Structure 1
């Protein structure tokens, strides 16, 4: 398994978990749980593939959907949820969400580079791949998009995409550096959330 698939599968699993938890909070039935998990886990990748003009990976391979279904049943079996909990303060949700959007941002950057995009294209595809699924989930469940109301979410996604592009330009886009970027992105996201870091608002 190459590095892209390894990172993407980790992202799909963690995104499916966060989508599942969000849908449980909203009181969805099993179909709602599946759709929320599916969009969270695979929506960003669908947007990415449309942007770069390639076949949608989730519609031509079985593994992504299988991962979503397995995560749903494991989450249900181990009961990793409570409807009464404040999901936005639950560590498992915050951590799973951080893993998935950093993983997807890196995958988006890798694929954008492979098709020949410049740094701006790489940053946009990384962002869309990173936060696209969460946006679709939040729209479906009638929520203000998560990336618009929590610490540096979209900013970190852009930063990860640009950083990977720079690593590629200087020849350091190896597995070890990619894993380091993944860990660094997750760490910054968790710090940003718990320290309540955010960009300053526009003032007169």
Structure 2
């Protein structure tokens, strides 16, 4: 499925850049930078493929690893690591948002291919989108962004739910996916800049 491949490529590049920024903030060495970028970009997909009873794509194709290496190389070449307050920069927010929405879509598409029900499709979208970042943050002893950021996981759940509804009404093709992608990105950016949060207890 071409749509799935496009979503995977966008998500891998965007999350690899996001992982690179986090690694730089934590002052990791080159190996640490690669591991953080790799986990962020590909960790969620590995868990997703395991749950969907698929051979992990990362283990059978070199493209994901080459994309991560390429992102790290060009990020260093362009000296993106010299920016201050990295996690508040426009580049980090946009790359993280693009990765979140792209992987939410790819996770939901694979859930639909595996004939999962609504819960399965939505959960696979969430795991694919945030799984790598959660593993990375736990490894770095950080509170996962999923638990603290405005509408972060909620956007992923909404994207998965909408894609499931698309499938029920036989809505497919590039245009609906692009509209859904734009909706997810717009909602996440709006939630970030407006500081929207889910209600808290206490």
Q: Same fold per TM (> 0.5)?
A: yes
Q: For 2:81, what is the secondary structure of its paired residue?
A: coil
1:150 aligns with: 149
8 Å Cα contact 1:164/1:173 also seen in 2: no
The equivalent residue for 2:66 is 66
Equivalent residues in 2 for 1:64-143, closer than 5 Å? 64-82=64-82, 85-143=84-142
Aligned to 1:169: 168
How many residue pairs get aligned? The number is: 202
Match of 2:49 in 1: 49
Please state if 1:29 is matched with 2:34. no
Task: State the Cα RMSD in Å.
Answer: 1.1
Query: In the alignment, is the contact (CA less than 8 A) between 1:12 and 1:67 conserved in 2?
Result: yes
- Supply the distance in 2 between the matched residues of 1:20 and 1:164 (Cα, whole angstroms): 29
Distance apart, 1:81 and its partner CA: 2.5
Moved over 4 A (4+): none
SS of alignment partner, residue 81 of structure 1:
helix
Deviation of the 1:174 alpha carbon: 1.5
Shift of 1:86: 1.8
**1:13·1:67 contact (CA, 8 Å) conserved in 2?**
yes
Please, which runs of 5 or more residues in structure 1 have no aligned partner? none
- What's the offset of the Cα at 1:179? 1.1
* Structure 2 alignment gaps of length 5 or more: none
Q: Secondary structure at the match of 1:200?
A: coil
Compute the TM-score of the two structures, normalised by the length of structure 2: 0.97
Q: How far 1:192 moved relative to its partner? A: 0.5
